[in-house]
Structure 1
Amino acid sequence: MMPKVEVPNHYNYIGVFLSLSCNLSCSYCINHTVGLNQRRKHLNGKQWAQALNRLQTKTDLPITIQGGEPTIHKDFYEIINSINPEKKIDLLTNIQFDTSTFINTISKDRFCRSLPYPAIRVSYHPETMDLENTITKVKELQDNQYSIGLFTVDHPHTKDELEHVKKRSLEEGILFKTKEFLGKLDGKVYGNYHYKDAIFSSTLKTVNCRTSELLISPEGFVYRCHHDLYNKKSPIGDILSPNFKIEDKYTVCDYYGKCNPCDIKLKNNRFQEFGHCSVHITEV
């Protein structure tokens, strides 16, 4: 049996990227802004189960299964059902899967935890998804007592349409929330950032950085941040290595100025308290 990996108590997030590929292609996807190479090696179901069952937390911190689109992984159902039942699981998805298969294969109890937001968070993208079909699928899972909600990016070009999405969600009794649009559009930078000079800079700076997230790539490598994971820069370990452990400390980073917006934005923590940032950065 592989030795346990202790997750620090102050960690706010465990992100498991089963795949960086997606079955949709949205023009505003933040992954496009970083030149993401979606074709990465994937761990298989048995390897993911071995890796995720190593994680040891002392808090009610779920393992968030995400991507790209995680449900397109060929072993998706095997992975979910192989994770020890006592571990909490969240899912980020565009819900393009067959809901009957999902309901018949994964118990609603896999998504039970005591945090103030849904465990299954469905991303709705107006460019590439049909609203009524999405509402029907979300409602079906909700009627079967899954913890689920509908989320979308508050894109400046879709504000009128999002008002309709909000109205339809309210009519169907579905929790609906918008997420802040991050990045550049028409020469303007959007987003609320803790470190305002950390993105879209013409110069790079060396800093000390400490993360509060455990991010695992499709290959099983562990990274400090989304920037490093997406660009395959400086992995800090291999989740399948018997010697891997989380070193909760500041490390030197030479890419300040090209940070991924997800890493340095201000947001809610998992208790829905605003003002959290995934990383803490100091000058060298």
Structure 2
Amino acid sequence: MTLSSLKLPDELNYIGVFLTLECSLNCSYCINDPEQSGRRSSLFPIEAKSVRKGLSPAEWATALSRIPFRSDLPITLQGGEPMLYWGGKGLGLILTEVPHYFDLLTNFALQPDVFVRNLNGQQAKLQRDAPYPSIRVSYHADEMNRTWHGRGFDELVSRCEALKDLGFKVSSLKADSDVGIYMVEHPDNVVTPEMRATYAERVPFETKEFLGVHAGKLYGRYLYPFSADLISRGIHPTPLACECKTTELLIDPMGFIWGCHFYLYDAWRQGGLVQEFAAIEAVNFQYIHHGAQIFAGRPIAPIGHILDPDFSMDKLDTFRPCYQYGRCIGCDTKIKNDRFQSYADRGVPHTSVKIRNIRMPAHLLGKIENLEQCQPFIDPLAWDESKHG
């Protein structure tokens, strides 16, 4: 099957491909969990071996071939644990068929020699010229210590360092290294002196901002008020309505395209789109023509399907009604740079989604810090009601 090339908008910031949502670890904190409640092992209950859980490598190659090659916009492979996709051999099967550069988000589930052997000689596609490593390895202390008998961090550093003898650049300077280790700054995570001594002069190591609620406190800086803590901190009993659109191309394991990370994760939390995938596959993935019927009755539906011959990128450039405001995943609404460094260079905050017309109850408006700055995001009717209430 050959599909037409997609026209990428210049402002597209990120392409995220979730090859699988299966994982070898069961971390107490996992970004895939919309409620961050330590339920990783039971979050995606697709267990039957006969159930199709995602696109094949050949289908992914067809899908990704639609995306024009751009050296400044890699495709980020993630999960779950992408090293485990297709019995561990899927990465190489995909990379062999497409010209793109890729970033890889992984917990390094495979031994280094097995990982590289499975790449089928395609290491160069994970070695783009960038100021940070293309292979970004996450450190999860409890689970990695359990898996590697108390030597979690030592083993992880050794696996990263071993790539030096397998065709990759490894340096303690992140701009000179193809691989680096990252740990979320969760309040329970601590960088110990022993860890510093272990990674020093060997591989890059950094911490990343923790986003979300822990022990009743919200962590992170967000553009939209109460977007990540409305429900989790009991600020309001139900999510709010708004309009939202994405600035990213997010594709789940079955090829469905989503408007935000919450929608993607929550659909899989409900058991995955097994029946819907079978139905869309039966009509040649023509989501635009058949999606409304197939997803009738589901409160959350994707934007499209990457194998739909009629899918185009302008489908992302539409504000859609959403009734889940306040349950947002932190990475979608946090203030950050885009790939053009808009925030660092010009002070223009970027978020992964753009939100408008939030139906904010009047009694909550007084609780919003920087209320005047948030006014453009709030439904004018709600704003007027507060002024004349």
Match of 2:132 in 1: 117
Q: Give the superposition deviation at 1:104.
A: 2.8
Query: Residue in 1 aligned with 2:11?
Result: 10
Which residue does the alignment assign to 1:99?
Answer: 112
**For residues 230-274 of structure 1, what are the alpha-carbon distances to aligned partners after superposition, in whole Å with 9 as ceiling and x for unaligned?**
112220001111111122232222221111112111234335665
1:237 aligns with 2:295: no
> Which one-letter code corresponds to 1:282 in the other structure?
R
Q: Output aligned runs, 1:85-164, within 5 Å.
A: 85-106=98-119, 107-129=122-144, 130-143=152-165, 144-146=167-169, 147-161=178-192, 163-164=193-194
Structure 2 residue 107 is the aligned partner of structure 1 residue 74: no
TM-score scaled by length of structure 1 = 0.90
Matched, 1:168 2:181: no
- Highest RCO, 1 vs 2 (Cα 8 Å, sep ≥ 6): 1
Alignment partner of 1:222 out of 236, 246, 257: 257
Change (3 A) 1:96 1:50: same
The answer to whether the 8 A contact 1:99-1:137 is kept is yes
Q: Is the 8 A contact 1:30 1:183 kept in 2?
A: no
Q: Note the aligned Cα RMSD (angstroms).
A: 2.2
- How many aligned positions are there? 282
Residue 51 of structure 1 aligns to a residue whose secondary structure is: helix
Structure richer in helix, relative to its length: 2
Please name the residue that 2:382 is paired with. none
Please tell me the residue identity of whatever aligns with 2:117. N
| Shift in alpha-carbon separation, 1:251–1:76, aligned structure 2, 3 A | farther
Give the CA deviation at 1:75.
Answer: 5.4
Amino acid corresponding to residue 68 of structure 1 in structure 2:
G
Higher share in strand = 1
**Higher gyration radius (CA):** 2
TM-score normalised by L of structure 2: 0.67
Distance 1:6 1:165, change over 3 A: farther
CA distance in 2, matches of 1:123, 1:24: 11
Task: Give the SS at the match of 2:33.
Answer: helix
How many angstroms does 1:200 deviate by?
2.5
Pairwise CA distance, 1:85: 4.6
Asked whether the 8 Å contact 2:261–2:332 carries over to 1, the reply is yes
Distance in 1 between residues matched to 2:87 and 2:12, nearest whole Å? 27
The one-letter code of the counterpart of 1:88 is Y
Task: Verify the 8 A CA contact 1:30 1:182 in the aligned structure 2.
Answer: no
SS at match of 2:195: helix
Distance 1:242 1:151 in 2: 38
Q: Counterpart of 1:145 in structure 2: which amino acid? A: F
- Opposite residue 121 of structure 1, the aligned amino acid is R
Identity, % of aligned positions: 39
Q: Is the 8 A contact 1:85 1:110 kept in 2?
A: no
State the alpha-carbon separation in 1 of the partners of residues 310 and 130 from structure 2. Answer: 32
1:210/1:70 CA distance change after superposition, 3 Å = same
For the 8 Å contact 1:45–1:75, the answer to whether it is kept is no
- Structure 1 match to 2:350: 276
1:203-240 CA-partner distances (Å, limit 9, x unpaired): 32222222111100111100010011111222000111
Partner residue in 1 for 2:323: 254
**Residues 153 and 205 of structure 1: CA distance in aligned 2, closer, same or farther (over 3 Å):** same
Give the Å deviation of 1:90: 0.7
Mark the runs of 5 or more structure 2 residues left unpaired by the alignment: 47-52, 145-151, 170-177, 231-235, 268-299, 358-378, 380-389
